[in-house]
Amino acid sequence: MDRPLLSRQTAAFQSPALRQISQRVQKVGGINLGQGVCNLPAPPEVLEAAQREIARGNNQYTHSRGYAKLRHALSDKLRSWNRMETNPDENVLVTAGATGAFEAVCGVFLSPGDEAVIFEPSYPYHLQALRRYEATIRYARLQRPDWSIDWEELRSLINPRTKLVVVNTPGNPHGRVWTPDEYRQLAELLAGTSAWLVTDEIYEYMTFDGRAHVSPGSLPELADRTLTMGGYSKTFSVTGWRIGYMVVPDGLGEPVSQFLDAVYACSPTPLQAAVAEGVLSLSPEFYSQMQAKYQAKRDLFVAGLRELGLQPWVPQGSYYLLCDMAPLFPGKTSQEISLEMIDRTGVGAVPSSDFLRSAEGQTWVRFCLAQEDAVLVDALGRLRRLLDSSS
């Protein structure tokens, strides 16, 4: 009897369209505004610290919970920025990026058939991990134009079988920022259930127009049921370093640590040490200047798209921007739009199909704005060719 060569979980390892987009942009020598890489300079203090740590031989395993200096630095940061009181030896764990943190969440807390609620449009890697661990996924659809929550729909999705509710704030792909009032409404829905609230806060320093990032783990109503995930890939523009973290309530650090040890032992030691140096040494001005920089990039790109007769959804945070491209590509699907846009302008963007169960009838794409201003201006100039060719 023939046996399948691949496991059934292999079907969950599907590369999102953004990989195809990146390869196609590279082939034509274009501008990749698709993949969420950070083509901006990393802080010199962080880069120099990495070089020092490697040179001095700090290259061996750390504890599976992470490098002690980084855990303590994160605990101080969580107190001052996130308003969360943590024990660095109990509640804080270093992971291989925020994706590594979510892998640990799924591996430690999910059993096959458990239900997970996720907000759509959603980050594809969250979906893939949930499918890999055979969770039953319930989708709460965010409502355009402001990506608001349908609270009645959300209420109908939460039940005694709900194990995880996954929130990404500021959000990818839509840039939505959750408010304390929304968290309190969510807390009321979760009261009496055994569900965990899982928050991906990787873009926590990128909020615009005076909005403040709020970690639900800081709220008394949610602190005991919140699993917080974050990282420095985006903040320090070191997406290839894969240094993330997670915060868990008391009593959960050991099972998570055991999972991390079993899966990959630890994150790269000298890079953990370098991130610790950045967390400890960079001033509040670094973060406020970064926030202002990304808001300016958002405003630049929004204005440029509007000049083309398009109506982008203005994000509240993160470094992504969604725009309906139908006026320039009538009758095309989002995937067709993304590929044709590369062929005609060399500019890559991710189709809506990466973020929706069904992208039928959807004609929007996601642009990544983590580029130098000159690159964004160049991309807008290339996109203008679409307008010129249609006139």
Which tens digit of pLDDT belongs to each residue from 150-161? Answer: 999 999 999 999
CA distance 109 to 254: 13
Task: Report, in angstroms and rounded to the nearest whole number, the Rg of the chain calculated over CA atoms.
Answer: 21
Query: Which residues have C-beta within 8 Å of that of residue 5, sequence separation ≥ 6?
Result: none
Q: What is the pLDDT of residues 106-119, one digit of tens each?
A: 999 999 999 999 99
56 in the Ramachandran plot: left (φ > 0), alpha (ψ -120 to 50) or beta? alpha
Local structure of 162: helix, strand or coil: strand
* CA 357 to chain centroid: 18
Domain limits of the chain? 8-42+285-390, 44-282
Q: Residue 5: pLDDT band by 50, 70, 90 thresholds?
A: low
Task: Judge whether residue 17 has pLDDT over 90.
Answer: no
Please check the confidence at residue 309 and state whether its pLDDT lies above 90.
yes
State the pLDDT at residue 7.
66
| Cα–Cα distance, 113 to 381 (Å, whole number) | 49
pLDDT over 70 (residue 319): yes
Q: Check: CATH 3.40.50.300 for 44-282?
A: no
Q: Which CATH class is domain 8-42+285-390?
A: alpha beta
What does the mean pLDDT of the chain come to? 94
28-65 residue pLDDT tens: 999 999 987 888 999 999 999 999 999 999 999 999 99
Angle CA 232–235–236, to nearest 5 = 80
Q: How far apart are CA 232 and CA 206, in angstroms?
A: 12
pLDDT tens-digit readout, 219-235: 999 999 999 999 999 99
Query: What are the CA-CA distances from residue 61 to residues 64, 267, 281, 353, 367 (Å)?
Result: 8, 8, 24, 40, 38
CA-based end-to-end distance of the chain: 63
Quick one: pLDDT band at residue 387, thresholds 50, 70, 90?
confident
